[in-house]
């Protein structure tokens, strides 16, 4: 009797084991199919997010670039890879009426930077534009690789140099495709502006009054001359220029010029603040016709972003009737 009971008990145990195993198998099959269906639904989404994950990874690993030149900083900013730090940033910011490179750190004076602070940032490269800052190259090279990019000068093709700058900066910041897209977008915008801009009857002088006796004219080798040429306009100033693309004339020399003047409401001059013309001196009797005035919201030695700002301001100024 005990044996019978034991046999029955053992059989029941075996039966329960088989039932349990069957249930587990069914459950595993069900879960496997459920997992497979979930993977089929989720996998395309995960694959579509891979470029985002890659870009985030590249952003975290992007090089720490420092520059002493605004054209380079301008280009880095346009590529959405602003410089880690910049020399002379406070001075550049004082020329604009809007935030400029808000995430970049200040290195001090452009020609007397804080070398200790610069070294503490551990930059991967320091970008300069000769001939400026060549005297600092020795000290800078002890901190990081110094990369020299020459932009302006009478014998240089500024458009080609800005293209080269954009591509080189794009390569340094792993933004090659974005660099090409920026070049294409600027070229397209310039063509659109050229198609709509008013054609003045006279050649244009792009001028900036420095003080009560001196005038700056932008000519060959300047960003302004490059923009005029790109828009199909004639630059009236064909005289010699320095390595920065401008000439300085005296008041008497300015009175002998004939053409239409585009006056830059000063962004660079430290002598003028609120007036396009000085309130004293002979400038008040300079022209019979009031010259066209542009609020200079760009840097004269900037990148493609600055070139577009000047071009768009020029269109607006030429379309605005001047007071007499």
Only one residue has tokens 């790109």, namely 230
> CA geometry: angle at 245 spanning 240 and 247, to 5°?
50
Contacts of 89 (CB under 8 A, 6+ apart): 100, 101, 104, 105, 106, 107
Q: What does the pLDDT average to over 281-305? A: 73
CATH of domain 65-175: 3.40.50.1980
Judged by average pLDDT, the poorest of 42-51, 125-134, 141-150 is: 42-51
What's the CA dihedral at 96, 98, 102, 107 to 10 degrees?
A: 20
Query: How many beta carbons lie within 10 A of that of residue 76, not counting itself?
Result: 26
pTM: 0.73
b (16+ CB within 10 A) / e for 45-68: eeeeeeeeeeeeeeeeeeeebbbb
Mind listing the pLDDT tens digit for each residue in 39-60? 565 555 445 455 444 444 444 4
Confidence of residue 151 (pLDDT cuts 50, 70, 90): confident
The CATH architecture one would assign to domain 195-319 is 3-Layer(aba) Sandwich (3.40)
Could you tell me whether strands 204-209 and 145-148 are parallel, antiparallel, or unpaired per DSSP bridges? unpaired
Residue 201 has pLDDT above 50, yes or no: yes
Q: How far is CA 92 from CA 71, 86, 102, 109, 299, in A?
A: 11, 10, 12, 11, 8
Q: What does the pLDDT average to over 288-316? A: 83
pLDDT for the residue 252: 82
More confident residue, 9 or 186: 186
Only one residue has tokens 């010699």, namely 240
Residue 38 has pLDDT above 60, yes or no: no
CA–CA distance, 241 with 219 (Å, rounded to integer): 6
Q: What does the pLDDT average to over 276-294? A: 61
Could you tell me whether strands 204-209 and 214-218 are parallel, antiparallel, or unpaired per DSSP bridges? antiparallel
pLDDT for the residue 127: 94
Segment of 21-25, 45-49, 244-248, 274-278 carrying the highest mean pLDDT: 244-248
What's the CA dihedral at 118, 109, 208, 240 to 10 degrees?
A: -70
Same fold, 65-175 and 195-319: yes
Of 106, 104, 62, 61, the closest CA to residue 83 belongs to 104
Contacts of 144 (CB under 8 A, 6+ apart): 66, 122, 123, 124, 125, 126
Residue 6 has pLDDT above 60, yes or no: no
Mind listing the pLDDT tens digit for each residue in 55-110? 444 444 578 999 999 899 999 999 998 999 999 888 777 766 666 788 899 999 88
pLDDT for the residue 180: 97
Q: Which two tokens stand for residue 309?
A: 């700002």
Mind listing the pLDDT tens digit for each residue in 220-267? 999 999 999 999 999 999 999 988 899 999 888 888 888 888 888 764
Percent of the chain with pLDDT over 90: 39
Q: What does the pLDDT average to over 122-151? A: 91
Identify whether the C-beta of residue 204 lies closer than 8 Å to the C-beta of residue 224: no
SS3 state at 227 = helix
SS3 state at 105 = strand
Quote the mean pLDDT of the chain.
78
Q: What does the pLDDT average to over 307-316? A: 91
pLDDT for the residue 277: 55
Query: How many beta carbons lie within 10 A of that of residue 111, not counting itself?
Result: 12
CA–CA distance, 107 with 52 (Å, rounded to integer): 33
pLDDT for the residue 72: 93
Judged by average pLDDT, the poorest of 39-53, 82-96, 124-138, 191-205 is: 39-53
């Amino acid at each position: 009797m005990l044996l019978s009971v034991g046999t029955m008990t053992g059989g029941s145990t075996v039966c329960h084991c088989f039932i349990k195993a069957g249930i587990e198998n069914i459950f595993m099959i069900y879960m496997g199919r459920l997992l497979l269906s979930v993977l089929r639904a989720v996998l395309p989404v995960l694959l579509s997010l891979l470029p985002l994950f890659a870009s985030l990874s590249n952003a975290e690993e992007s090089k720490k670039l420092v520059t002493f030149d605004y054209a380079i900083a301008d280009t880095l900013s346009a590529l959405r890879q602003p410089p880690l730090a910049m020399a002379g940033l406070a001075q550049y910011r004082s020329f604009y009426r809007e935030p400029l490179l808000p995430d970049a750190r200040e290195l001090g004076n452009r020609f007397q930077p804080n070398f200790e602070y610069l070294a503490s940032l551990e930059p991967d490269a320091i970008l300069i534009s000769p001939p400026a800052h060549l005297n600092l190259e020795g000290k800078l090279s002890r901190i990081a690789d110094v990369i020299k990019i020459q932009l302006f000068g009478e014998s240089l093709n500024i458009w080609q140099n800005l293209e080269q700058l954009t591509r080189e900066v794009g390569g340094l910041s792993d933004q090659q495709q974005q660099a090409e897209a920026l070049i294409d977008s600027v070229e397209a915008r310039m063509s659109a502006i050229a198609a709509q801009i008013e054609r003045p009857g006279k050649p244009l002088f792009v001028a900036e009054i420095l003080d009560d006796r001196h005038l700056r004219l932008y000519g060959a080798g300047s960003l302004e001359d490059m923009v005029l040429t790109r828009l199909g306009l004639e630059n009236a100033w064909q005289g010699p220029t320095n390595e920065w693309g401008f000439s300085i004339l005296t008041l008497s020399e300015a009175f002998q010029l004939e053409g239409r003047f585009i006056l830059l409401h000063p962004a660079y001059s430290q002598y003028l603040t609120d007036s396009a013309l000085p309130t004293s001196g002979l400038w008040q009797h300079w022209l019979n016709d009031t010259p066209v005035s542009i609020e200079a919201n760009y840097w004269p030695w900037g990148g493609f972003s600055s070139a577009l700002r000047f071009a768009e301001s020029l269109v607006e100024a030429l379309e605005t009737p001047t007071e007499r």
